[in-house]
Structure 1
Amino acid sequence: MESSESRFKQSFPAIIPIYLTGEPNQPIQLYQGSLKITQEGTVYEGNGTVFFEWLPSPDVKFLFSKSDNEFLIQLELGKGNLNLSEIQSYAEVFISSIPMDFEHESGDISGTLNKPAILRSENNLSHIVFHLTNFHQFSGMPISTSRAMWRGRLILEAENWNVFIDSLQNLGDIIKSLESKGGYAITHVGRLERSDKKPFTTKDADDVLEALHWFVSFCRGFRTSPILLVGYDNSSEKVWENCTYSYTTSAWRSVHSWFADSQDSCSLGKLFPGFLNRWRSTTWNQPIRFAIHWYLESIAQAGAVQGSIVLMQAAFEILAWTLLVEEKGIISQQEFEKLKAAEKLRHLLSQCGVPLKIPDSLTELLKASKELNWVDGAQALTEIRNAIVHPNPKKRQKYLNRPFPEQIDAYKLGLWYLELILLNLFEYKGKYFNRIANKEFYQENIEVVPWG
């Protein structure tokens, strides 16, 4: 029998997070000590803290306590500069609160950081450690600490970059707390480095980190992003830190995306190179952003089910144009503009290897298709969308008289289409969560993509 010691030797050392949330929405202290605020040549010194606050939305804030209130009357609300004296770091801030009545109020000054507090150098980085909130629990490569081992590593490799993302050891407990309380919690910690081990700058890493935001958001089904970035040099000394918030991160939601909870992390590893290839393309970068944005908003049911059906059509339009007109040139601009929405979607689905037939599991939509002579899913989806958005009273009434379960089926079909189209564009061949399979057991809904 294999010993526990030998198993630990076969695992990767777990990445140690720099910051943790003991409970969802718990503020994270980033700095405590001497602070100096400068505004229009006037300097105020004292002690205070800089902290990452989650609610009502993630932001980095500071609280500056000054015992001597004599000069604070000169301070105004607005921009200023904050010096974190003990680590020689500077940040541009917005002062949002100052004491006005010194006889009855404390001398607290507070505000938010507008731009990152940069610690030392932005060059010659060996690797960057980052944190993720509210991400999936997946089955990954084995990782370990001195006391435990778990299957928690995701490896993403593309171009000259390696990204390692480790789930926290107590991720199950964290997710239970998020399901109960909602909000935000750090669930994973990651590491970005070059595969050739060469040093890099923060500017080099910016595009990869931005791409990673869109990638993990597409995989999660709502927005999440690398946050609380800490850079190290070849001596493993911390030389750079960016604690400000660059991209939107959503509060916890119990939603399904194409990547299922507890699915093998290899699926994400297979997807990343194709995703990054499209991301680097000047033709595809903007359409991918738009399509993933509408995908996430549709899952969130922005504007309810009806609004999501409309938003998905916007994603189909831009993807169809980019693939059929710009990349493949199989349809001219003039021809494309003359096509009906159903024909555009039909061409797009066919090029991406997505079945046109309405799946048998969508029973309500199948009934409607027989009643209304819809030939396939493309026509069904666009007919329902047209009835929502067009002002024609006859069409509007026709939609309003349809049963709501039929609209739910159309919503599911649209999300399924959009997921498969994007997966195909990213040249993915692997397993995904089929949201319309409707099989009894959750894991039975994980299938190979139609073209795989």
Structure 2
Amino acid sequence: MTEPSATPSNVEITYESDDTRVVAQTFTRPNGQTLTVSHCHPDALRHHYTPGELGEDLRLYSGGFVNGHGKYYTGNVGFTWHPSPRVQVTGTRELTDDDYNDLFPDDATRTGIWSDIHEVLVEQPDSLVPQQPQDVSVAAAPETNYESIADRVAGQIGNSKADLDSLTFLIPNGWEAYDASYICNAHNPVQRWSGRTTTAGDGWTITFDRLQPMDSQAWRQLRDSAGIRFTHVGQLVRTDGSTFTSEQALNVLERIRIGLALALGRRTSCFLPVGYRNDKPVWALWQGYPVDPFTRVSSHWLDTLVASRQLASILAKVLDFTAQEDRRDALTHALAYYIPTNTGFDAALGVALPISGLQLLSFFHFVTEGPVSATCWERQNDHTEDEVRKLLTTMNVSTPVPTHFTNLATVQARLPTQRDALGTIIYMRNHIIHPVKGRPGKYTHKEWAESSILANYWLGLALLHLIGYNDDIAAVLQARVLHEGDERREVPWALTNLGTPWATAT
């Protein structure tokens, strides 16, 4: 950890109450006059593990540990980004005569296609999560009579049954938000930046703080390199101040992951959570998750100028909505169609996936949570287009071809019968799902791309409608390229009495 900095001589810190600290910095102008600038911003969250730079691995532990086969080693546990985000151990141990037979396992005992990811047991002084090691150098093992390992691991550290009063975690490849509230450096409170987003739902309060190094240049470097790094620290507490278990926390962290995927249009997660009791780290989880590169997507609706407000609203809605397991499953499955289309699938497949996602949500809306039986649903709808159109109509989403989607309009003009944008996209999609010999099905990349952008935009709206989101969205389908924040609009169902969001319907 960074050592606290001395308070500069021109800075005065006072406390108006236990919760309010005033930081005042006085400057002397050339003419001798003084100017005092003060603030009451809270300290930025700090995590048990200090995150590194772009693509930089983290060391989590150094010392003795027991691997998944019950053997004791000396070495290191670290978090690495490559080839995928994961926790790995490296270590050595001296061999004994009884060990040599274990070096040649019987292949006949290996079954199936999966290899196990073992837990690792580490030495824990005072039964607390070990502190992150600093500047550790490991001597090379002798060339003979020693065994070395390098293995992928995952598991819980500390007391999984402990009552926790707070939990912190790290988020990679998060979001830029110019409307976030101000926080400051705990070691040098003069340093402040716009970085905090807070939300609450289902009895939980979540705080996200942007890491101080993530300035505009760092975001640009992350985007240009399509790289990966930790960008935010998160904190989870019960809104009423009560304690909770690690099992409850993991359930909420998974739901936060779902909410972030919807808000960002790509995959990220809550990494390396550490649970605290009376400010002492008593539990941690070492595990990796898939993360998509930091990129922007053409059909996504998040607006950097108001992203903090939008994200807070999304997560609050998702936490409330996913309190029911069947709703969480539906949202998760629909996101499985939405995210891949945003993050780089072939444009033709990017048409098929959103339509399947819309079909899933239509069935969930009208049958799973609606008054229609599955039998009646099958009788009422002859085609996928019927099912999707019912959902879009309920959401008050119009379906003409946008005037500036000239390539999609070209496809529309070639069709044997008159169709709107939905009908045209379904026609193209059927060439992939139901290929028929002799039927023309070749489209240009731009024709597929415009169809994919529009279809996935509809799916994104349907996901927002699913959780009851009623805030504004970036007008990403405009005819000309605008700067972020130049134009926003309300979600379609907020414009009329149609399309009451499911989560708020009576």
How big is the shift at 1:149? Answer: 1.5
Change (3 A) 1:185 1:105: farther
Range with greater deviation from structure 2 (7-16 or 121-130): 7-16
Query: Which residue in 1 is equivalent to 2:205?
Result: 162
Change (3 A) 1:7 1:195: farther
Q: Secondary structure, in 3 states, of the residue corresponding to 2:347?
A: helix
Change (3 A) 1:134 1:105: farther
Aligned match of 1:50 in 61, 64, 77? 77
Whether the 8 Å CA contact 2:292–2:343 is kept in 1: the answer is no
Tell me which amino acid in the other structure corresponds to 1:358.
Answer: V
Tell me which amino acid in the other structure corresponds to 2:55.
Answer: N
Change (3 A) 1:204 1:36: closer
Change (3 A) 1:36 1:3: closer
Tell me which amino acid in the other structure corresponds to 1:141.
Answer: S
Whether the 8 Å CA contact 1:125–1:201 is kept in 2: the answer is yes
Query: Which residue in 1 is equivalent to 2:504?
Result: none
Whether the 8 Å CA contact 1:142–1:151 is kept in 2: the answer is yes
CA deviations on 1:96-151 (whole Å, 9 max, x unpaired) are xxxxx98569642221214x132135321011000000011112122122132122
Identity value in percent = 22
Whether the 8 Å CA contact 1:231–1:240 is kept in 2: the answer is yes
Tell me which amino acid in the other structure corresponds to 1:73.
Answer: Y
Whether the 8 Å CA contact 1:336–1:344 is kept in 2: the answer is no
Q: Secondary structure, in 3 states, of the residue corresponding to 1:206?
A: helix
CA deviations on 1:301-324 (whole Å, 9 max, x unpaired) are 32x000111111220111011111
Tell me which amino acid in the other structure corresponds to 2:481.
Answer: E
CA deviations on 1:227-280 (whole Å, 9 max, x unpaired) are 1101111x21111111223x4322333435321344331112222233233322
Range with greater deviation from structure 2 (2-11 or 358-367): 2-11
Tell me which amino acid in the other structure corresponds to 1:134.
Answer: N
Separation (CA, whole Å) in 2 of partners of 1:118 and 1:394: 61
Aligned match of 1:299 in 326, 333, 342? 342
Change (3 A) 1:81 1:149: closer
Query: Which residue in 2 is equivalent to 1:98?
Result: none
Range with greater deviation from structure 2 (11-20 or 314-323): 11-20
Range with greater deviation from structure 2 (170-179 or 26-35): 170-179
Change (3 A) 1:405 1:121: closer
Matched, 1:26 2:56: yes
- In structure 2, runs of 5+ residues without a counterpart are 1-21, 26-35, 106-114, 130-140, 495-506
Q: Secondary structure, in 3 states, of the residue corresponding to 2:392?
A: helix
Separation (CA, whole Å) in 1 of partners of 2:315 and 2:241: 20
Tell me which amino acid in the other structure corresponds to 1:420.
Answer: L
Tell me which amino acid in the other structure corresponds to 1:29.
Answer: R
Query: Which residue in 1 is equivalent to 2:87?
Result: 60
Aligned match of 1:253 in 295, 306, 312? 295
Separation (CA, whole Å) in 1 of partners of 2:38 and 2:159: 36
- Aligned positions of 1:254-403 closer than 5 A: 254-256=296-298, 257-302=300-345, 304-330=346-372, 333-336=375-378, 338-372=381-415, 373-395=417-439, 397=440, 399-400=441-442, 402-403=443-444
Change (3 A) 1:52 1:366: same
RMSD: 2.8
Separation (CA, whole Å) in 1 of partners of 2:149 and 2:265: 38
Tell me which amino acid in the other structure corresponds to 1:190.
Answer: G
Q: TM-score, with normalisation over the residues of structure 2?
A: 0.78
- Aligned positions of 1:97-136 closer than 5 A: 107-114=147-154, 116-136=155-175
The structure having more radius of gyration, on CA atoms, is 2
Q: TM-score, with normalisation over the residues of structure 1?
A: 0.86
Structure 1 or 2: more helix by fraction: 1
Range with greater deviation from structure 2 (118-127 or 159-168): 118-127
Separation (CA, whole Å) in 2 of partners of 1:260 and 1:20: 29
Range with greater deviation from structure 2 (121-130 or 282-291): 282-291
Whether the 8 Å CA contact 1:126–1:197 is kept in 2: the answer is yes
Change (3 A) 1:318 1:432: same
Change (3 A) 1:218 1:81: closer
Query: Which residue in 2 is equivalent to 1:93?
Result: none
Number of aligned residues: 430
How big is the shift at 1:389? Answer: 2.1
